[in-house]
């Protein structure tokens, strides 16, 4: 059971449902069935950029940079530094970026006591900060900052729903007649749950068909906090 599914199950139990069966038809939709009659599909509620989940860059870009940072040098260093990454989309880790990063790490080896910021591309910046002690590697990843993560929560949720609803509607399409009632449970990775006032505002703003009998938004960190739109 995935983390989002565990959170959704906790939420539905907290609002009074007991007979919750996980994947009654095996590894396909629905994720849960309540009382043998209510089918529930679960998904992460995430922010989108250019029609793709915003986490894509985080999962594809950051590990490659971390790997290059950690493997730099011959481990004969006397001092170390932390490397922070700031990025915005569109950004891609390619050969040019890789070569430039390596050149920067090489050059900075002569200035390890200094805190410096370097531009790898228009959308990618690294900041090197000296470590107070020697680490296992000359450079070690510190923190990444996603500059596309900002914005207004309700607007982001609204825009994400416009991608998620068609995606999930298509997924359940050929199985929809198996159950009379279909619910969609979304674990909030955008705002970590909405207040009742925010839910009301969101309901008023929805101007497209949700295609599910009920859509729930559940807090990621507090699984008993949630509501319906």
Token look-up 């609204």 returns 158
Maximum pairwise Cα distance, the chain: 68
Give the SS3 label for residue 2: coil
Q: Rounded to an integer, what distance in angstroms lies between the CA atom of residue 220 and that of residue 192? A: 5
Token look-up 């359940």 returns 172
Q: Rounded to an integer, what distance in angstroms lies between the CA atom of residue 158 and that of residue 154? A: 6
Q: Rounded to an integer, what distance in angstroms lies between the CA atom of residue 137 and that of residue 209? A: 53
Q: What secondary structure, in 3-state letters, does 67-119 show?
A: HHHHHCCCCCCCCCEEEEEEECCCCCCCHHHHHHHHHHHHHHHHHCCCCEEEE
Q: Rounded to an integer, what distance in angstroms lies between the CA atom of residue 98 and that of residue 203? A: 46
Question: pLDDT of the chain along its 229 residues, tens only?
Answer: 999 999 999 999 999 999 999 999 999 999 999 999 999 999 999 877 666 666 655 556 778 888 899 888 878 899 999 999 887 767 777 899 999 999 999 999 999 999 999 999 888 899 999 999 998 899 998 887 766 555 557 888 998 999 999 999 999 999 999 999 999 999 998 877 888 888 998 999 999 999 999 999 999 889 999 999 9
The first and second tokens of residue 208, run together, are 């497209």
**Helical (H) or strand (E) element with 158:** helix 153-172
The first and second tokens of residue 118, run together, are 């370097």
pLDDT at 130: 94
**Helical (H) or strand (E) element with 61:** none
Q: What CA–CA distances, in Å, run from 54 to 23, 49, 59, 82, 155?
A: 28, 6, 9, 25, 15
* pTM of the predicted protein model: 0.63
pLDDT at 195: 86
């Amino acid at each position: 059971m995935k983390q989002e599914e565990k959170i959704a199950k906790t939420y539905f139990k907290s609002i009074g449902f007991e007979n919750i069966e996980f994947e009654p038809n095996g590894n396909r939709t629905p994720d849960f069935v309540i009382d043998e009659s209510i089918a529930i599909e679960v998904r992460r509620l995430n922010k989108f950029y250019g029609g793709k989940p915003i986490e894509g860059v985080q999962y594809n870009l950051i590990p490659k940079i971390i790997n290059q940072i950690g493997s730099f040098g011959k481990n004969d260093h006397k001092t170390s530094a932390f490397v922070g990454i700031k990025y915005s989309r569109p950004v891609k880790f390619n050969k040019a970026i890789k070569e430039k990063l390596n050149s920067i790490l090489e050059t900075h080896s002569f200035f390890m006591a200094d805190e410096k910021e370097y531009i790898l591309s228009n959308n990618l910046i690294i900041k090197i900060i000296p470590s107070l002690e020697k680490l296992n590697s000359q450079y070690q990843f510190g923190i990444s900052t996603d500059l596309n993560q900002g914005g207004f929560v309700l607007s982001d949720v609204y825009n994400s729903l416009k991608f998620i609803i068609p995606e999930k509607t298509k997924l359940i399409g050929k199985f929809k007649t198996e159950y009379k009632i279909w619910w969609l449970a979304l674990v909030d990775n955008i705002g970590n749950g909405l207040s009742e006032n925010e839910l009301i505002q969101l309901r008023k703003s929805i101007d497209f068909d949700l295609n599910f009998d009920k859509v729930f938004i559940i807090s990621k960190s507090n699984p008993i906090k949630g509501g319906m739109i």
